[in-house]
Amino acid sequence: MDSPLSAISLLLLLLLSLFSAAHSSTLGVQYISKLLQIQDRERAPPTLQIAAARAVLHRLLPSHSSAFEFRIVSKEKCGGEGACFIINNHPSSYKYGAPEILISGVTGVEVLAGLHWYLKYWCGSHISWKKTGGAQLFSIPQSGSLPRVQDSGILVKRSVPWNYYQNAVTSSYTFAWWDWERWEQEIDWMALQGINLPLAFTGQETIWRKVFRKFNITNSDLDDFFGGPAFLAWSRMGNLHGWGGPLPESWFLEQLTLQKKILARMYELGMTPVLPAFSGNVPAALKDIFPSAKITRLGNWFSVKSNPKWCCTYLLDATDPLFVEIGRTFIEEQLKEYGRTSHIYNCDTFDENTPPVDDPGYISSLGAAIFSGMKSGDENATWLMQGWLFSYDPFWRPPQMKVISIVFF
């Protein structure tokens, strides 16, 4: 599928074949096939996806809303199990006022990616972020004069099941102050680029408060745990705590409400939003409430200079029974709050933090505990982990990386 982000490297750990290429290849394909079948069954109804896609068209090109017809089709129309979009001249295009172009796709995302493809390659237009030019649509002929495609139509298949978008820290680089209007623009842009696997991290601190409350940690205890709005990414990753905080009380409800709108729109378009999972990062108060818990104080992170007010964070040991219990509770609370899930969860372990132990067995036990927490809360859980941390930190040698992949099989 034509997308400027299609070359983004995505590390789905369940597909790693570091420990046994033949075994993991077969098992990984089976796992992915099962997950795709589940997601297809749970996807929004075609009528809802079409309505959401048409709303994107109207926001993008209101003068041409009636020039296009959208349809959701089965994967069989793509010639196999993969997704695709199909562009045809509309069979009624010879009639005055009738739609001119028919775009079909397996999901609303495929339909809108097809729209962008047509506008780009047949009308000479370009759609990018506002900071890089925005939607340049001046070359599109007026409604009633759109270019016709070849009679046989155009079929473009998606080369991989998912096109991934964002990074775990994007929420603090760019998104921190976005309202719904700005998020709506971004989700429109995602769909037009064919992106169907975006991170959905907004509002998770509200969920974390509910989770930790079950473990007798108060909201005031968490004031020193959560970072401020512009620094949440790094407190979520366990790099620092409390920096720029505490969060105002209004923030929790506003962000949770925003997250529900974000998720609803992503699901309406047929996307697979990725929710967060528990990595072991815990507030300092957990040490006092559970004095026998195995908790490790991590080292300094870049600019906080060992100041105890910001540094250093605490990691719950994977062998402690609390680990899986907290991980399960976090997944369950998200399902309870949001009403559904796509079954893919992101958890990046040790982003810009070196593990306290170099033993591959320690890394393996941590990975197993993280995944056990996910699976105990959602039996169809899949762990998505970004691979960039393996490239910059010399700690991650093949033995350390290999043991992470093993925990999924």
Question: Do residue 113 and residue 225 come from a single domain?
Answer: no
Last residue of a domain, one of 133, 157, 181: 157
Question: Do residue 96 and residue 182 come from a single domain?
Answer: no
Is residue 309 over pLDDT 90? no
350 or 280: which carries more pLDDT confidence? Answer: 280
Last residue of a domain, one of 130, 157, 184: 157
- What was the pLDDT predicted at 390? 67
Question: Do residue 189 and residue 251 come from a single domain?
Answer: yes
Q: Count CB atoms within 10 A of the CB of residue 21.
A: 9
Distance between CA atoms of 390 and 6, rounded to whole angstroms? 21
Is residue 246 over pLDDT 70? yes
22 or 404: which carries more pLDDT confidence? Answer: 404
Amino acid (1-letter code) at residue 371: F
Q: Of the candidates 255, 275, 273, which has an alpha carbon nearest to the alpha carbon of residue 264?
A: 273
Distance between CA atoms of 196 and 190, rounded to whole angstroms? 8
CB of 192 within 8 A of CB of 114? no
Is residue 7 over pLDDT 90? no
Section 303-320 average pLDDT: 81
Is residue 317 over pLDDT 90? yes
- What was the pLDDT predicted at 25? 53
Question: Which residue range(s) make up the domain with 62?
Answer: 46-157
User: Which band of pLDDT confidence, cut at 50, 70 and 90, is reported for residue 305?
Assistant: low
- What was the pLDDT predicted at 16? 36
Last residue of a domain, one of 126, 157, 188: 157
8 or 322: which carries more pLDDT confidence? Answer: 322
CB of 316 within 8 A of CB of 329? no
Is residue 340 over pLDDT 80? yes
Is residue 14 over pLDDT 60? no
Section 356-376 average pLDDT: 88
Section 205-213 average pLDDT: 98
Question: Do residue 195 and residue 328 come from a single domain?
Answer: yes
9 sits in the region (left: phi over 0; alpha: psi -120 to 50; else beta) called beta
Whether residue 139 lies inside any domain: the answer is yes
Question: Do residue 115 and residue 181 come from a single domain?
Answer: no
Percent of the chain with pLDDT over 70: 87
Q: How many domains would you assign to the chain?
A: 2
- What was the pLDDT predicted at 26? 65
- Measured on CA atoms in the order 119, 124, 125, 127, is the torsion positive or negative? positive
pLDDT digits (tens, 9 = 90+) for 251-303: 999 999 999 999 999 999 999 999 999 999 999 999 999 999 999 998 777 66
Name residue, tokens 């996307």: 271
Give this prediction's pTM. 0.91
- What was the pLDDT predicted at 272? 97
Whether residue 30 lies inside any domain: the answer is no
Instruction: Tell me the three state secondary structure of residue 137.
Output: coil
Section 76-83 average pLDDT: 89
Question: Do residue 276 and residue 362 come from a single domain?
Answer: yes
pLDDT digits (tens, 9 = 90+) for 370-408: 999 999 999 999 999 887 766 666 666 666 555 444 333
pLDDT digits (tens, 9 = 90+) for 122-177: 999 999 998 889 999 999 999 999 999 999 999 999 998 999 999 888 889 889 99
User: Which band of pLDDT confidence, cut at 50, 70 and 90, is reported for residue 307?
Assistant: confident
Q: Of the candidates 81, 50, 84, 80, which has an alpha carbon nearest to the alpha carbon of residue 68?
A: 50
Is residue 11 over pLDDT 50? no
CATH number for the domain that contains residue 72? 3.30.379.10
- What was the pLDDT predicted at 81? 77
* Mean pLDDT computed over every residue of the chain: 88
Distance between CA atoms of 317 and 304, rounded to whole angstroms? 24
